[in-house]
Structure 1
Amino acid sequence: MDIESINGVRYLDSLINRQSIASTPIIENNTVIDFSFLIQKFLSDLSAITDTPELKAELNTDQSLWSAIQQISSRYGIDSSLVKAVIKQESGFNPRAVSNAGALGLMQLMPATARELGVKDPMNPVENIEGGVKYLKMLLDRFKDVKKALAAYNAGPSFVERNGVENYPSETKDYINKVLMYKSQFDKKA
């Protein structure tokens, strides 16, 4: 048997049976530690945790999320690339996102806005998208301009009406530019 040290960890290499004991870690007193039971326990626990219908559904959301975005966007007559861009900017596609201001979910709906839009559970991705797209459509109809609608989504409609395009804070200008950049990227992928 050979003992070899790699990065301060000592390993025992068996010359007799390299397949079964190869690179088994050992402690300084040369006691062999078998980590296989820990690995098996970890994998078993991981399987038990991830084998829930909720998590399986969540792990398989990419396709269903894209489908929901497409269907809801189409229903409201909004470009799905714009909706994806807003979601990317608002939450980074994290359905559990909560902002410091209290905005919730994928499209970061404020609780009062969510209630006004009929969203019962803003943390439910489909309900959140439905409410967010409905709100974005209302803003697009109201302002008749994508940049103004995005500014209103970010800073509030009354802010846009009071201040005009020239007086947007840098945060709102950055928001508009990032959303439009993401929209362009999603357009290229389509």
Structure 2
Amino acid sequence: MKFAYFGTLFIITSCAGPYHPFGSNYSVSKISNDLFKKSKQHKAGQDLDSKNIIFSPKYQVLHESRNFSIEIKRNETSSEEKIYFFYNNVDITDQVEAISNVDRTSTKIIYTIANLTLPPVESHNFSVIYKSSPEAAPIGKTYPFPDCDIQDNPLLSAAKIKARRSVKNALKKIAEETELNSALMAGLIEQESSFNPKAVSWAKAVGLTQITPVAEKQLLENKEYYAYPKWGRLPASVLKTYIETGKINKDNDWKLDPIQSIKGGFDYLEYISNYWKKPQNIEAFPEQIKNNDEELTSIILASYNSGPSRVKRNLLKRGMYWLEARELKEARKYVYKVKSYCRQYAIERD
């Protein structure tokens, strides 16, 4: 069984151990040097969107390995046709050819890669260029990032969610009431707790949406929730034991009630959104972000994971590149994976 991933390097691994196209000795520096020596710079930019090139899955999957295919439609066969693959502006055609199963017919070419892994901590600018002949105009397409806007209102693919029907129904109902993205919330819950209503983390985050003592304190400024007395002062190990044995349960702590936990997660996202609407915090945004709903969603999700203050500090220091900060590495993985789950759970409206 082969596994492949696009990263800073294009590496193939297998059950028998690491493998790469340049030989059997695994060397990151050797792969990097050889790859860049052979590379051609891809100048086509970001305007590649040919309908004759189809990716499956449609968007980058950043939360798990997935079989990946590229279908290129063509009008006729030609011995002079050329296909190029680029990753972050580097020509990786040879590597893709080496690990793909290729099926050619008179009307299409399909490349299939088994178990493609796209690490969520990295950016993946992967594109395909096709020329049917030396004289033909090239067509191309870039594999889209799984964008997911908190203000979108897609249909929720409940069938894909591994949770009780009551949880799925609660997601839909609360999303309708708040007019927020239920697929995004489903992705957040998947990443936070894997839909385990009794999940407890070392940071004492509890329930489906993993509300911490600090988050609950902030929520209680404007909302009413019932909680087990002084639960935030308990050591994480004791808190986990209390929940596992039922001493703390959904009847005496809202975080263990799946419906209340989902509502609290939406309320906390709203709390964070309001934080970023304050004039003193809006000032931290670069101009390119202020009217970019997708980027604002990333800021809100990163704040849910790492706290608004840390996010604001890096917005002020790094501007548009705030999410590339070293101290936000875990937040970056979190944002990318939640958005990837969001795309999995969303049904696009016509």
Shorter-normalised TM range: 0.5 to 0.7
User: Matches of 1:169 and 1:112 in 2, distance apart?
Assistant: 19
The equivalent residue for 2:267 is 134
Task: Pick one of 169, 173, 191 that aligns with 1:67.
Answer: 169
Contact persistence 1:119–1:128 (CA under 8 A): no
State which of 311, 315, 322 in structure 2 corresponds to 1:160: 311
Match of 1:12 in 2: none
2: CA distance, partners of 1:115 / 1:67 = 27
Match of 2:258 in 1: 125
Q: What's the counterpart of residue 150 of structure 1?
A: 301
Deviation at 1:130, TM superposition (A): 1.0
- Cα distance in 2 between the residues matched to 1:116 and 1:171: 23
Residue pair 1:104, 1:123 contacting (<8 A) in 2 also: yes
1:133 shift after superposition? 0.6
2:186 to 84, 87, 101: 84
Greater CA drift, 138-147 or 79-88? 138-147
Equivalent AA in structure 1 for residue 300 of structure 2: A
Amino acid paired to 2:328: P
Shift of 1:189: 8.7
CA distance, structure 1, for counterparts of residue 194 and residue 180 of structure 2? 20
Higher CA-based Rg: 1
Which one has the bigger helix percentage? 1
Structure 2: which amino acid aligns with 1:171?
E
Number of residue pairs matched by the alignment: 130
Contact conserved, 2:306 with 2:328, CA < 8 A, in 1? no
Any conservation in 2 of the 1:96–1:106 contact (CA below 8 Å)? yes
- How much has 1:66 moved relative to structure 2? 0.7
SS of 2:180's equivalent in the other structure is: coil
Which protein is richer in strand relative to its size?
2
- Aligned 8 A contact 1:85 1:179 in 2: yes
Equivalent residue in structure 1 for 2:334, among 171, 175, 186: 175
TM-score, with normalisation over the residues of structure 1? 0.63
d(CA) in 1 for partners of 2:198 and 2:165? 18
Deviation at 1:141, TM superposition (A): 4.2
Q: In the aligned structure 2, how far is the partner of 1:175 from the partner of 1:83?
A: 13
Partner SS state of residue 271, structure 2 = helix
Note the aligned Cα RMSD (angstroms): 2.0
Deviation at 1:113, TM superposition (A): 1.9
Structure 2 regions of 5+ residues with no counterpart? 1-162, 227-252, 277-292, 316-321
3-state SS, counterpart of residue 174 of structure 1: helix
Q: Is the 1:76–1:137 Cα contact (8 Å) retained in structure 2? A: no
Name 1:11's counterpart in structure 2: none
**Mapped contact 1:90–1:108 kept (Cα < 8 A):** yes
Please tell me whether the aligned partners of residues 78 and 137 of structure 1 are also in contact (alpha carbons under 8 angstroms). Answer: no
* Residue 137 of structure 1: how far off its partner (Å): 2.1
Q: TM-score, normalised by structure 2?
A: 0.35
Aligned to 2:212: 110
4+ runs of 1 displaced by more than 4 Å? none
SS at match of 1:169: helix
2:304 and 2:347 mapped to 1: Cα distance?
24
Pairwise CA distance, 1:124: 1.4
Q: Partners of 2:165 and 2:302 in 1: how far apart?
A: 29
For residue 179 of structure 1, report the CA deviation from its aligned partner: 0.2
Report the Cα distance in structure 2 between the residues aligned to 1:114 and 1:70, rounded to whole angstroms. Answer: 23
CA distance in 1, matches of 2:195, 2:346: 17
